[in-house]
Amino acid sequence: MATDPSYERTARLPPAWTTDAGYVKDTSEWIARCLKRVQALDPLIGAEEAEKTVRDLAELERWRVLNPEEAAEQLYTPVGPTTRGSL
């Protein structure tokens, strides 16, 4: 059977954690790395408040699927004005 050259094949995508920096082995490591980045972004935040915030994030799937440093960055990303009418 001849292969049709016009046949579109699905490309195999490598996982996002192909580098050692992206791989997180467990929740404890995720929390430690995220906490380190949060404290670098906000040196005025208290250690207790920072740890509570990061532990809360680690329990939420939407945040936990992110690289820990990316999660911290998103946490500190300013939110712009909404495009919808005022609330």
**pLDDT for the residue numbered 80:** 73
- DSSP run (H or E) holding 41: helix 27-41
pLDDT at 52 over 90: yes
- pTM of the entire structure? 0.67
Contacts of 56 (CB under 8 A, 6+ apart): none
CA distance 39 to 76: 11
Q: 22 and 65 in contact (C-beta within 8 Å)?
A: no
pLDDT at 15 over 60: no
Q: Over range 50-64, report the average pLDDT.
A: 95
pLDDT at 18 over 80: no
